Amino acid sequence: MSIQWFSPSTNIPIISIASYGITLNIGAVSHLINAKSITTGFDENERKIFIKIHRKEDVGFLFPKVDKNTKSIRIACKDFIQFLQVKSKTDFSKAVKFYATYIPKEDHFVIDLRDSLPEKRKQTKK
C-alpha cells in the first residue's frame, strides 16, 4: 500500500502553464532551494511535461535565488509553451493549473497534461 500523508502545513506542488510561461507555487518552489536553473521537456506520447532541476550548472532557464520565504516563481519560456501548444494541442491562452509530482531520485517534476485542475467558478451574489 502506498500512502501519502498530509498535514495542515503540507503545500501541494501546483504548476500553472500559460502563454507567457510557467508559474510554480510554494509547494513546488520549496524543491528549488539551492537550485541554479531548470530545463523543460515534453513526452508527446505520454502527454507529460518534465521540469528538471539543476543544482550545479546554469543550463536552461535561470530564476532568482529561492529561499524559505519565496512564495512562487514565474519562468518566462514562451517558446516552450508555443511548442507545447502545437505538440499537445492544448490551449494555454488562459492559465491552466496542474498538480505536479516531484520525483526526488531524479530531482524533477512531472506534470500530466491529461489531468488539469478544474477552474474555480466565481460565485455570483443573489
In a domain? residue 4 = no
Is 57 in contact with 51 (CB distance < 8 Å)?
A: no
> Domain count of the chain?
1
In a domain? residue 6 = no
Average pLDDT of span 68-91: 95
Residue span of the structural domain in which 29 resides: 14-112
Q: With bands split at pLDDT 50, 70 and 90, how would you rate the model's confidence at 8?
A: confident
pLDDT(32) > 90: yes
pLDDT at 123: 60
3-class SS of residue 32: helix
Q: What is the pLDDT of residues 34-53, one digit of tens each?
A: 999 999 999 999 999 999 99
Q: From CA 66, how far away is CA 71, in angstroms rounded?
A: 9
